[in-house]
Amino acid sequence: MRASVKPAPLSPPPGSAPASLAGASARPLSAVDNDASPAGPTGLARKSRSRRIIAVGGGKGGIGKSMVSANLGVALAQAGHKVLLVDADLGGANLHTCLGVGPPESTLSDFLRRGKANLEEVMVATGVPGLSLIAGAQDSLDAANLKYAQKQKLLRTLLAQTADYLILDLGAGTSFNTLDFFLLADHGLLVVLPEPTSVENAYRFVKAAFFRKLQQVESQYGIQDLVEGALSTREGGLRTLHDVVAQVRRKAPSDAERLERELASFRVRLVVNQARTDADAKVGAAMVAAWKKFFGIDMDDLGALRYDDEAWRAVRKRRPVLIERPDSPVSLGLQRIAARLLSLDGLSSESAIP
């Protein structure tokens, strides 16, 4: 195996304040996110609905988030679903290029800043039937300066969309804005390369998302003191999900079960990209086992994508590899991941796609 999969401790560094939760951005919560509420997207609790949101995140850039987003969009649209791709990489938007869409006339920025009321006004066709795109901001709007009200507007509007699938291509890193989009999703896909540095970044991302999730639910359960106390414990008292729930049970037994269900809904789905060996392809399964063992957190391994020259060739041609080379190893892997997502949603059987 190429990558070490043993995660670093979940607890944040001693004395760190919850606002700069382990591995999350070191910026103070209020300074740049303008997010007065640590609970993040207030009033945006997920409801049961038929439309699914897939968010594609990862600890760093250049690991294939946009490649995965664009091609999963193509695969799901080809499977007959109405798909809306959203380039939410606010600092480095380039999803339109992966799809061969020219410099976009209108972007997310027009919606966020120039008073366009409907997302429909900034949607563009991609040439793939059933797949539309909201191109990313081409100006200086980035995740770091997205205002709280803008984020709320975007989150609410996304939740109101009627497409069968919304796919959010996220920027690299663990800013609160990025994490809030990740946590909004039904399927939080985490792209990771089978290299120790990327695995490390992935763990940092999961830690940051986990603590952001805790922040979102803590006020709901009146456990702010408890969570913040646990997070700043020198000995790192908060090691596993079970530890959090056990502490809540001691304080408020009736809330513990509800909290357990809530935290269990935080489930990251791993996509190992650029696997060159069979051992690489198993890194996802090893990471899932390590997280379960060390932190009691469930993750899913959606499968690996092969390193494939066709992947970068397709990007240079500005065409999704799934359309350019549908039989290439990376395309077959992307089809398998799309099939797994559809199967998780009860929409089709995995056996339908090789």
Ligand X SMILES: Nc1ncnc2c1ncn2[C@@H]1O[C@H](COP(=O)(O)OP(=O)(O)O)[C@@H](O)[C@H]1O
Residues that bind ligand X (CB under 6 A): 58, 61-67, 273-274, 305, 307-308, 311-312, 315, 330
CB 215 within 8 A of CB 21: yes
Phi, psi of 219, deg, nearest 5: -70, -30
Residue 23 binds: one of Mg ion, ligand X, none (C-beta under 5 to 8 A by kind): none
CA gap 22, 211 in Å, rounded = 8
Among 11, 66, 71, 174, binds Mg ion (CB under 5 A): 66
Using CB under 5 A, which of the segments 43-51, 66-74, 201-209, 211-219 binds Mg ion?
Answer: 66-74
- Residue 81 C-beta: closest distance to Mg ion, Å: 22
- Residue 184 C-beta: closest distance to Mg ion, Å: 18
CB 44 within 8 A of CB 156: yes
Choice between 182 and 295, CB closer to ligand X: 182
- Residue 44 C-beta: closest distance to Mg ion, Å: 25
Choice between 63 and 275, CB closer to Mg ion: 63
Structure-block tokens of residue 71:
């091609």
Q: Determine, following the binding rule CB under 5 A, whether residue 71 of this chain makes contact with Mg ion.
A: no
Q: What is the gyration radius of the CA atoms in the chain, in angstroms?
A: 20
The kind and range of the H/E element at 225 are helix 224-231
- Residue 164 C-beta: closest distance to ligand X, Å: 23
- Residue 165 C-beta: closest distance to ligand X, Å: 18
Choice between 291 and 307, CB closer to ligand X: 307
Question: What residues does 341 pair with on adjacent strands?
Answer: none
Structure-block tokens of residue 339:
């099939």
Choice between 64 and 284, CB closer to Mg ion: 64
CA distances from 172 to 61, 175, 233, 298 (A): 5, 9, 29, 23
Choice between 13 and 61, CB closer to ligand X: 61
Query: Among positive and negative, which fits the CA dihedral 317, 318, 321, 322?
Result: negative
Positions touching Mg ion (CB under 5 A) are: 65-66, 89
